[in-house]
Structure 1
Amino acid sequence: MVLFGASKEEEDQLRAAANVQQQPGVEHRQSYSSANISAYETADDMVSEPEEYPNPEHRTSTGPQHASDHPHDAELDDATINGGAPSSKYKDAANSADSSVHEDPEPYNVDSDMDENALNRRYTLERISSRRTVEDVAAEDLLKTISGHNTHASTPENEKSIDLAALDWDDPSDPANPQNWAPWKKWAITFTVALVCLTCSLGSSLYVSGTPQLMLRFGASQELVISGLTFYILGLALGPLMTSPLSEIIGRRWIYVFSLPIGMLFTMGIGLSKNIHTILVLRFFAGYFCSPALSVAGGTVSDLWANSPSDMSFAIALFCLAPFLGPVVGPIIGNFAAEHKGWKWAAAWVPLMFSGAILPFIAAAPETYKPTILSSRAAKRGQTINRPPMTGKAIKEMAKYVLLRPLEMLILEPIVLVMSVYIAFVFAVLFGFFEAFPIIFNGVYHMKQGVSGLPFIGVGLGLVSGVFFYVLMDKFYYFKKNPDGTRGNFDENGNMIWDPPEKKLLIGKIGAVCLPISLFWLGWTGRKEVHWMSATASGFPFGFGLILVFLSVLLYFSMAFPPKSVASAIAANNLLRYIMASVFPLFTVQMYHKLHIDWASSLFGFIALAMVPVPFVFEKFGPRFRARSRFGYAAYFKQLAAEKAQKEAAAAGSAPEADSDDTNEKPEEVVSNSV
């Protein structure tokens, strides 16, 4: 355990925690279709031989199991995106196990030489066998944090009340379970939420097409008018911070139903505005109220497809594509709208048309969030739901988790900081293209405004190709098909061999190489003596590399941290990504005028070139960073050990039970001391 920075005493605590991986008081449930989203069971990073399942009774067969019974791939869920995160999807690893096993399973036997990786596996196996999703684990951890007491205890005032976390489907074929709905219905909902994400992100770049006319109409400077893009992106960044936890209370459907129409009203106000200052204020609120869809759509996809990893892979890829494709489609449509109909159509009426077209489908879409569905059904059956009171302390803890934890991880966690800066830079360059492309294709090739937006097709094709490349890698490399029809790698005993998180960085390495190539290509072919098609084609490797780096980073986050920390890590990534993207358009025009097209694009290219080693460095040193992380699995198990020791001391009467504040802070002290 020296590798993980733990002393002998801490190692003993770590091993002792393995006897109570099931959170105290958390019931084992029988949700057949639970989404087992990856709280990565950190596979042995340096041990060549995979470990067998710790307890044979939890295995479903003696031979190789189907891929659907094992972790499939790291993707997004609601607990990890605040606007959007991929984490591994697992189908239930004990589909054929007797339900009685899940009522009160025997703790796994822990060998004296079991290391942290084995304990991580053991934790996930128990979670899977108890039919609990990672989203369940994250929600329960958060609920325990904000309530400061056992979330599953009955209230003395009403012994008949039922804990929300204890509710479950009536049986595996329960028609209320979204995973049991007809495929056409699930795909219709999936495409609907993806289109909502595309529509929200589309509003950012459509506005830019009307910039020249806005300058003439209101006599404003270019920087002031372009800041309308900045305010919209800031709204996209800040909106999910509050709406994501709100979806845990009221469900996902109502977030869509309420937020999109409010965002449409602010968009309509832009078209009716009489001065540029009103437009800027309305742009911020339009982005703010459109953004919630970006934070909960990943959870909707998880609700629908968690029991079908092969379909989940494509559904999540589609969801990830939409927020990037929106800004690319914007100039293609907006330039023609602005040229022929004026700035109001680009900034207001076209976005309203897209939102209005998707609104009926949102209104017709059913709720997919399990706790909301079950609590509604329980109310109809006359059952009382026991919910923890939202006291001032609880609200304070919620705010601390939602607002401060992402910032804390961004500052103190090298993995989150470096990876987020990388993604933020690449995403910001994409938004810088909104000003750079008109300079190149209007200024150099003298294209009309409408036609000058068409070169963004190259970036769009790159994004789509990158998603399909990821799907093919997932199917034929990460989980290739075996002769017996199963997918994935197995040992001689039929146990799945789980790869370390660093293996997911392969697609990031490919994308990282594509980005500087694209930027240098654009800079040195955007001239009169070179045909315009060459500069247009340079957008393809940029889009291809952008989506691969993005997917790689989110996959790595989802596999490197426990459930609750994954949510904060991706929230930090999203916040930094949008904030940096909001700034780049403000100086892109000046940079291209002063440095000219060749060296301005090359400056971006050199920065991208300097960042190429990032995925290669984390592939080599990632295990060390994860082992020393304050938010990783090593720290997580030490927290469990501290909680167990504290509860045992309280039960034995050797020490008074600490209040909720102490309960929450003690594990952090153990983690801090170990670091």
Structure 2
Amino acid sequence: MFLCMPETSAENVLYRRVARLRALTGNEQLRSQSEITRGHTAFSAIVRQALIKPIEISILDPAVMFVNVYTSFVYATYYSFFEAFPLVYAEIYHFNLGLVATSFLCILVSCVLGVSTYVAYLWFYLEPDIKKNGLRVQEFWLRPAIAATFLPTIGLFIFAWTSCPDIHWIVSIIGITIYAFDVFIILQCIFVYIPMSYPQYAASLFAGNDFCRSALACGAILFARPLYINLGIGRGVTVLAGCSVLGIGGMFYLYFYGASLRARSRFTVKG
């Protein structure tokens, strides 16, 4: 679908203007430069540019591979909650079906908090900084993610080991709220970092990332219930929390060494 879209914002504006001229004049021979260029591009080159190249980047570029793995893990963990919540709030806390459903509202609360926090960061810090210093290097946009990277693991551990009859249910809800709130912040930073690093492949990379996230999230529905039943909620969620520790290391590595990785990558635009 994005094969026909211009690759830069300037081309995008020109494309829209030409399309409007065509509509106003009725002259279908009017073409933008990007349309002319694409008209002389072989189909095999288009397929490679739109399909094969993003897959190649996702496999061979460590930054993109980390982003795909990390975001897929986050989505898989989130979807595993659809199996964990009934086991915790119905079987441990004896919620009825309606109350179990309302426990998912903590995700909505965390999203509202995440949106408010991130918008405040953009408004009060990032926008004034851009006006003063201009656009900084890509890794600068990961700073909120660095500040938040420990908290998803902490939130999962809270949920894992406070989901028991002796502890009030609100504590485990707080753990999930912390997890989802900080994951929202981290994902916003990642989804800005990637298109800034690979602008010519941004649309395709987002599509590839969405495929990875959706595929693993689908698998989570299958493995989550056996995981939680066989290991119990505490140990089962601890497995996920332990895996999330790898994301902490990956995020710090991306922040401190992302520029070096990008300089050695054959996929980034040079100059």
Counterpart selection for 1:400 from 40, 45, 48: 48
* Change beyond 3 A, Cα 1:392–1:479: closer
Secondary structure in 1 matching 2:108: helix
Match of 2:235 in 1: 599
Q: For residues 353-380 of structure 1, what are the alpha-carbon distances to aligned partners after superposition, in whole Å with 9 as ceiling and x for unaligned?
A: xxxxxxxxxxxxxxxxx36xx5255234
* Change beyond 3 A, Cα 1:469–1:583: same
In the alignment, the residues of structure 2 paired with residue 447 and residue 600 of structure 1 have an alpha-carbon distance, to the nearest angstrom, of 21
AA matched with 2:125: Y
1:535 equivalent in alignment to 2:179 = no
In the alignment, the residues of structure 2 paired with residue 401 and residue 412 of structure 1 have an alpha-carbon distance, to the nearest angstrom, of 15
**8 Å contact from structure 1 (residues 463, 546) kept in 2:** no
**8 Å contact from structure 2 (residues 75, 213) kept in 1:** yes
Match of 1:558 in 2: 195
1:626 equivalent in alignment to 2:270 = no
In the alignment, the residues of structure 2 paired with residue 166 and residue 469 of structure 1 have an alpha-carbon distance, to the nearest angstrom, of 36
**8 Å contact from structure 1 (residues 423, 549) kept in 2:** no
1:343-422 paired onto structure 2 within 5 Å:
370=16, 374-375=18-19, 377-384=21-28, 385-386=30-31, 388=36, 394-422=42-70
Match of 1:443 in 2: 91
1:573-588 paired onto structure 2 within 5 Å:
573-588=209-224
Q: How far apart are 1:399 and its partner, in Å? A: 2.6
RCO higher in 1 or 2 (8 Å CA, sep ≥ 6)? 2
Match of 2:186 in 1: 549
In the alignment, the residues of structure 1 paired with residue 59 and residue 159 of structure 2 have an alpha-carbon distance, to the nearest angstrom, of 34
**8 Å contact from structure 1 (residues 507, 548) kept in 2:** yes
In the alignment, the residues of structure 2 paired with residue 135 and residue 574 of structure 1 have an alpha-carbon distance, to the nearest angstrom, of 23
In the alignment, the residues of structure 2 paired with residue 500 and residue 422 of structure 1 have an alpha-carbon distance, to the nearest angstrom, of 22
AA matched with 2:225: V
In the alignment, the residues of structure 2 paired with residue 620 and residue 592 of structure 1 have an alpha-carbon distance, to the nearest angstrom, of 36
Q: How far apart are 1:538 and its partner, in Å? A: 1.6
In the alignment, the residues of structure 2 paired with residue 381 and residue 391 of structure 1 have an alpha-carbon distance, to the nearest angstrom, of 22
Counterpart selection for 2:135 from 498, 512, 515: 498
AA matched with 1:527: C
AA matched with 2:189: S
Q: How far apart are 1:388 and its partner, in Å? A: 4.9
In the alignment, the residues of structure 2 paired with residue 391 and residue 479 of structure 1 have an alpha-carbon distance, to the nearest angstrom, of 40
In the alignment, the residues of structure 2 paired with residue 502 and residue 557 of structure 1 have an alpha-carbon distance, to the nearest angstrom, of 10
Match of 2:103 in 1: 455
**8 Å contact from structure 1 (residues 459, 542) kept in 2:** no
**8 Å contact from structure 1 (residues 520, 605) kept in 2:** yes
AA matched with 2:27: Q
Q: How far apart are 1:389 and its partner, in Å? A: 10
AA matched with 1:586: L
Q: For residues 4-35 of structure 1, what are the alpha-carbon distances to aligned partners after superposition, in whole Å with 9 as ceiling and x for unaligned?
A: xxxxxxxxxxxxxxxxxxxxxxxxxxxxxxxx
**8 Å contact from structure 2 (residues 139, 193) kept in 1:** yes
Q: How far apart are 1:569 and its partner, in Å? A: 2.8
AA matched with 2:65: L
Q: How far apart are 1:631 and its partner, in Å? A: 1.3
**8 Å contact from structure 1 (residues 501, 559) kept in 2:** yes
Secondary structure in 1 matching 2:149: helix
In the alignment, the residues of structure 1 paired with residue 251 and residue 119 of structure 2 have an alpha-carbon distance, to the nearest angstrom, of 20
In the alignment, the residues of structure 2 paired with residue 633 and residue 406 of structure 1 have an alpha-carbon distance, to the nearest angstrom, of 14
In the alignment, the residues of structure 2 paired with residue 498 and residue 572 of structure 1 have an alpha-carbon distance, to the nearest angstrom, of 27
Q: How far apart are 1:391 and its partner, in Å? A: 8.0
TM-score, length-scaled by structure 2: 0.88
Paired-residue identity, %: 24
**8 Å contact from structure 1 (residues 431, 581) kept in 2:** yes
* Change beyond 3 A, Cα 1:631–1:453: same
Match of 1:432 in 2: 80
* Change beyond 3 A, Cα 1:437–1:166: closer
Match of 1:135 in 2: 9
Q: For residues 491-525 of structure 1, what are the alpha-carbon distances to aligned partners after superposition, in whole Å with 9 as ceiling and x for unaligned?
A: xxxxx443211111111123321111111011111
Q: For residues 426-485 of structure 1, what are the alpha-carbon distances to aligned partners after superposition, in whole Å with 9 as ceiling and x for unaligned?
A: 1111111111111111111111112101111112211221121111111222223xxxxx
AA matched with 1:452: V
**8 Å contact from structure 2 (residues 7, 200) kept in 1:** no
* Change beyond 3 A, Cα 1:395–1:625: same
TM-score, length-scaled by structure 1: 0.37
**Equivalent residues, number:** 264
Q: For residues 276-319 of structure 1, what are the alpha-carbon distances to aligned partners after superposition, in whole Å with 9 as ceiling and x for unaligned?
A: xxxxxxxxxxxxxxxxxxxxxxxxxxxxxxxxxxxxxxxxxxxx
AA matched with 1:602: T
**Bigger-Rg structure (1/2):** 1
Q: For residues 150-173 of structure 1, what are the alpha-carbon distances to aligned partners after superposition, in whole Å with 9 as ceiling and x for unaligned?
A: xxxxxxxxxxxxxxx866xxxxxx
Match of 1:610 in 2: 246
Match of 1:356 in 2: none
Counterpart selection for 2:155 from 518, 522, 529: 518
**8 Å contact from structure 2 (residues 149, 248) kept in 1:** yes
Q: How far apart are 1:398 and its partner, in Å? A: 2.8
**8 Å contact from structure 2 (residues 76, 220) kept in 1:** yes
In the alignment, the residues of structure 1 paired with residue 72 and residue 214 of structure 2 have an alpha-carbon distance, to the nearest angstrom, of 7
In the alignment, the residues of structure 2 paired with residue 612 and residue 376 of structure 1 have an alpha-carbon distance, to the nearest angstrom, of 48
Secondary structure in 1 matching 2:77: helix
**Structure 1 gaps, min length 5:** 1-77, 80-131, 140-164, 168-369, 481-486, 491-495, 638-675
In the alignment, the residues of structure 2 paired with residue 393 and residue 597 of structure 1 have an alpha-carbon distance, to the nearest angstrom, of 55
In the alignment, the residues of structure 2 paired with residue 573 and residue 590 of structure 1 have an alpha-carbon distance, to the nearest angstrom, of 27
Match of 2:146 in 1: 509
1:59-74 paired onto structure 2 within 5 Å:
none
AA matched with 1:570: F
**Structure 2 gaps, min length 5:** none
* Change beyond 3 A, Cα 1:531–1:623: same
Match of 1:230 in 2: none
AA matched with 1:453: A
AA matched with 2:43: I
